[in-house]
Amino acid sequence: MTKESYEKLANAIVEQAIRDYIWAENKLKKTNNCLEAEKAKKEVLKFFHSCWFTALTDIDPDRLIKKIHKEVL
């Protein structure tokens, strides 16, 4: 696997986490008691602040979350 392939995989993982976070936030806006959305949000936030996330990207997780809220939600 090439370096470019690893970078694409890392980007895809982060992008999926962002999509999952947006889905969870939107679902919670519509329905406050959605256990699936609450669990997904909690898991994504844990991922954003994990060592694995920092191994995949140089993005600051708190800035990313703020950007998502500002631009998407």
Residue 18 belongs to what domain range?
3-71
Tokens of 68: 């998502």
Supply the pLDDT for residue 21. 97
Rounded CA separation 16/9 (Å):
11
State what percent of residues in the chain have pLDDT above 70: 100
Distance CA 38, CA 51 (A): 22
21 burial via Cβ count (<10 Å: 0-12, 13-18, 19+): buried
Confidence band for 72, pLDDT divided at 50, 70 and 90:
confident
- Span 27-54, pLDDT tens digits: 999 998 899 999 999 999 999 999 999 9
Domains held by the chain: number: 1
